Amino acid sequence: MQTNVIKRKLFTGVIWETIGQFLSLIIQFGVTIIIARVLLPDDFGVVGLLIVFVAIGNILLDSGFSQALIQKKEANNLDFSSVFYVNLFVGLCLYALFYVISPYIAQFYEIPELTRYARILFLIIPITSLGLIQNVLIQKQMEFRKTAIASLVAALVSGCLGIGLAYRGFGIMALVVQQITMYSVRTLMYFIQRRWLPKRYFSLKAVKEIFTFSMNLMFHSLINTVFKNIDTLIIGKYYATSEVGYYNQAKKFEEISASTITSIIVKVSFPALVQFKDDVEKVKMAYKKITAMTFFVVCPLMFLLICIAPPLFRILLTEKWMPAVPYFQLLCLYGLTLPIMQISYNIYKLYKKGKFLVRIDLIRHVLFLISILLTIKHGITTLLVGLFVVMFIMSFVNMYFSGKLINYSVKEQILQAFPYYATSFVAGVLVWILPYIKNDIITLSAYIPVFAIIYIIGAKIFKLNAYAEIQNIIIKRRI
């Protein structure tokens, strides 16, 4: 595949993946806002606890096969069919396991009704297993328009159903059905858009070969998912379910920004970087452009959201959700570290450093766990400060080790990232000290454009590369 074709597919992929992720998240977010006006924070807290187990189940289900198949250039139908059958078998086994342990989960959190909701919600795992290979095929061809459409349709259908059930008094079950419907529709859309069915043959040798590479990725993803959600699990044990609801709502606000943008870049850039992996210099140049573009978007967005969080929550979720604001603001600081952390993971995957990736992430998660255990009794705010400190430290560790693989020093990386963070910080401070306006709508209408103007002026003054790159892309498209 020629360099120009890859660049075009990468750019188009980013656009479509961004559209799909953002619009589907906005739809889900809008649905959550509507439902949140009917249900209580406790209801969201109950489902929030169960979603953690679904996330863990989906990681075990995939077992890293998806990334391994994408990375394998010569993957054939035998590989795809074999992995499909493995995924289906594992999905059914995992559901059976979670079905059995559901009462123990309910007992642990002292919520008896959790068992009924868990056994229904965990159906997501076998449902997901049916569409994993179709999703892999779409990603290998960088046809991200299809995943965008699937996500949008799933969000719309499940959202409408969830709202309808909530207003009809179904309570927690409205959230449960919404989640199952979203995964089911998305899987169905993958089948419709990528008309692939498994062949009637299976190769244990092919599975073993792929699993050799995917095993480390599975352990990494599993550890990452468990520790990413361990805060929710511990908060659910030590605090009321309403606190879980506040915390998860804050996370949803953050996920529609930093986490979503970064995950889009990680997902779209990996297939593109695979094409350059034999040329370290090209990988380095591509990596610099990818990270710069991410910094350009994520940094200002995080600082802006910190500034406008109180009026934003009051307008969208009403006064009853205001306890979530300080959690959200701290999560935005956490989000500032994500571009460095997550995009560097692609470099480890690219050069098959799966074992090292597991080790370095294990260190991060052990530090996370220590931080949580030291801070949990001092409140959720203190817990989040501790998590941010760990992420800040580990960002530099990742810069060092991933940079070594592509001859990109920590000093170079800091010099590239600093102008984006500094410009965003200055814009945030200037907006923060603006006079207080009692009307929240007027506040947002004033603060957002002021922040944007200050940031763009700063981007021009410091001649940020990503800003110039975006300008060039826009000019070329006009021509």
Look at residue 1 in the predicted model and tell me its pLDDT.
Answer: 46
DSSP per-residue letters across 158-217? HHHHHHHHHHTT-THHHHHHHHHHHHHHHHHHHHHHS-----S---HHHHHHHHHHHHHH
Question: What was the pLDDT predicted at 97?
Answer: 93
- pLDDT value at residue 14: 59
Please tell me the predicted confidence (pLDDT) of residue 204: 77
Please state, in angstroms and rounded to a whole number, the distance separating the CA atoms of residues 230 and 367: 13
- What pLDDT shows up at residue 257? 73
What is the rounded CA–CA span in Å between residue 375 and residue 359? 24
Domain spans of the chain? Answer: 1-238, 263-479
- Count of Cβ atoms closer than 10 Å to residue 285 Cβ: 14
Digitized pLDDT (tens) for each residue of the chain, 479 residues in all: 455 555 555 556 556 666 766 777 788 878 888 888 888 788 888 888 888 889 888 877 766 666 667 666 666 777 778 878 888 888 899 999 999 999 998 988 888 888 999 999 999 999 988 887 887 777 777 677 787 888 889 999 999 999 999 999 898 899 999 999 999 999 999 888 877 777 877 777 777 776 666 666 677 677 777 777 777 778 887 887 788 888 888 887 887 777 777 777 776 667 667 777 777 888 888 888 888 888 888 899 999 999 999 998 888 887 888 888 999 999 999 889 888 887 888 888 777 777 787 788 788 888 988 998 888 888 888 988 998 999 899 999 989 998 888 888 999 999 988 999 999 999 999 999 888 778 888 989 999 999 999 999 988 888 887 776 666 655 555 54
The answer to whether 191 and 153 are in contact (CB under 8 A) is no
Output the six-digit token pair for 307. Answer: 């500034």
Q: Which pLDDT does position 116 carry in this prediction? A: 92
What values do phi and psi take at 385, rounded to 5? -60, -45
Q: How far apart are the first and last CA of the chain?
A: 25
In this predicted structure, what is the pLDDT of residue 162? 93
Counts for the chain of helices (H) and strands (E), in that order: 20, 0
405/285 Cα distance (integer angstroms): 13
pLDDT number for residue 8: 58
